[in-house]
Structure 1
């Protein structure tokens, strides 16, 4: 039996009947269509939860400088802070760009990235990253002129190059299990000792102890991040330290990296009693360790990452107080 003939449009083509309730009919968006990044997306890509790691070495380095000089060099300290924060944001955007164009971020567990999620053009993310590196360079140049320590230009250039090649270039060291080494050197030793030297042109041993602590906290945060991404990194061919030593090895190393700074704090407390208060940062660090050992879903490690980052800056602030109190 023939069905009811369908109505034809003015052009003569058949118009199909909509299925279901016509009032609920809608046109679905093509999933391949890129979604423009919002201001919130750009702020998220800066990874603000990692910025305390840039503050910690400046606090410790400034406190150590105070031991060598009775005056606070606030302008230089703020300059060091600007360089550290700008470099941190710059490397975060650089990682977003490099991992995105390589396809490493095609399947992510953590927050979506700008490049990998197609929310921004790779070139735009790259330019933003370079802009922050340039701003860090300008701040560093200003301090170099102020202190007349011209070799600092070379150190600053090395820092920017190291920040870029963490995930950039043909052979990024972050893809070959060297990320923690460079993070320890640049976000721990160079940042802390450099802050002290820029202010007083000498480096007391307290700055070195504090630099080791700051570097270990930064490495612990990187481990928590890589533990979260261990499965996708293994598939993508990103050979992080966590991929090489596995989940259990990463858990053990994370615990060591988090607890050793408190051992350093106890040692410094023998000479600077207020340093005992650095143990208060364990209120943030211990829950982070617990999460790393008991997490059920990779997303839970984002909390551990944040707690470790804030434990770092709390430790740095208390050690600054111990050195200046």
Structure 2
């Protein structure tokens, strides 16, 4: 009979994967900032509650993904070279504890959401139900979304688009489709995090039946598409900034240089399994860089209009 180890706080933290939290934090910041800039409304308590919901949902998704990958044999000692990226493989605790931990994260997210509902009414549940459904479909079922060519799109739209829209509604009480357009830089950058992961994991995904977009395209075409989308973010941010925050675009030259210096190592590097950890760190840095730049353009324009 296999002997399992205890689930330690270190293992829980690795399951939660804090390095992925920017994918949840920046969309909340964007939706809340757009509410302030476009309507003048901002509630600090609601900001913290939506931030808690989104970060805890991210922790839950990360944990449940690790659980499913371990159960299906995708994560093994042979193909998981970073001990901090495969908690179930290296810490030796029972897989059901990972499942329970993931469900606890989701329960805590629900508890944070109760505060939001008490102040805003039931309508935020629409966003919560959509997000929760995607979370479950992403990790569970006969064929989870994470194992299909739509994984990048679903994660990008939900994390990068749905979260800003929901946070904007929570702050303002208004459903505004324009927020989805203004969230486009984050939709792309969140999707690219998943695309980078899947491009690096082609060799270990295909044998276990994971048919991801990079798996279909192949490494060369997937790498090319990723780099084209990275370049496209510069153009999209430029066009959106010129249309919706022209004063904030005075910051763009310096911000564009920062983005270029952040993106360049990925552009010239190889998206191979050996470079997986390095590339994942870089793509999260790119997401953070693009998000901060877009927030500075919007926030900077708002300050210039109101203080100068």
TM-score normalised by structure 2 residue count: 0.85
Change (3 A) 1:59 1:112: closer
C-alpha separation in 2, matches of 1:48 and 1:241? 25
Deviations 1:87-132 (A, max 9, x none): 1111000101111111111232444422344622111111110111
Q: CA deviation at 1:269?
A: 2.9
**What are the ranges of 5 or more consecutive residues in structure 2 without an aligned counterpart?**
304-308
Q: Residue 63 in 1 paired to residue 33 in 2? A: yes
Q: CA deviation at 1:152?
A: 2.2
**What are the ranges of 5 or more consecutive residues in structure 1 without an aligned counterpart?**
1-31
C-alpha separation in 1, matches of 2:96 and 2:190? 28
Q: Residue 234 in 1 paired to residue 212 in 2? A: no
C-alpha separation in 2, matches of 1:151 and 1:287? 43
SS in 2 for 1:165: helix
Q: CA deviation at 1:74?
A: 1.9
C-alpha separation in 2, matches of 1:264 and 1:188? 15
Paired residues in the alignment total 293
Equivalent residue, structure 2, for 1:97: 67
**Normalized per residue, which structure has more helix?**
2
CA contact (8 A) 2:60 2:102 kept: yes
Deviates more, 1:208-217 or 1:287-296: 287-296
Change (3 A) 1:262 1:63: farther
Q: CA deviation at 1:57?
A: 0.9
From 278, 289, 299, give the equivalent of 2:267. 289
Q: Residue 304 in 1 paired to residue 282 in 2? A: yes
TM-score normalised by structure 1 residue count: 0.81
C-alpha separation in 1, matches of 2:282 and 2:63? 22
Q: Residue 274 in 1 paired to residue 257 in 2? A: no
C-alpha separation in 2, matches of 1:109 and 1:305? 19
Q: Residue 87 in 1 paired to residue 57 in 2? A: yes
CA contact (8 A) 1:62 1:320 kept: no
Equivalent residue, structure 1, for 2:128: 156
Q: 1:127-146 maps to which residues of 2 (within 5 A)?
A: 127-146=100-119
C-alpha separation in 1, matches of 2:47 and 2:297? 16
Equivalent residue, structure 1, for 2:42: 72
Q: 1:1-325 maps to which residues of 2 (within 5 A)?
A: 36=6, 38-106=8-76, 107-110=79-82, 111-117=84-90, 119-148=92-121, 150-203=122-175, 207-270=179-242, 271-272=244-245, 273-275=247-249, 276-277=251-252, 278-279=255-256, 280-292=258-270, 297-322=275-300, 324-325=302-303
Aligned-pair Cα RMSD in Å:
2.5
CA contact (8 A) 1:64 1:323 kept: no
SS in 2 for 1:115: helix
Equivalent residue, structure 1, for 2:306: none
CA contact (8 A) 1:86 1:133 kept: yes
Deviates more, 1:109-118 or 1:73-82: 109-118
Q: CA deviation at 1:216?
A: 0.5
Deviations 1:150-178 (A, max 9, x none): 13224313312311221322221211212
Q: CA deviation at 1:307?
A: 2.3
Change (3 A) 1:65 1:142: same
Change (3 A) 1:322 1:209: farther
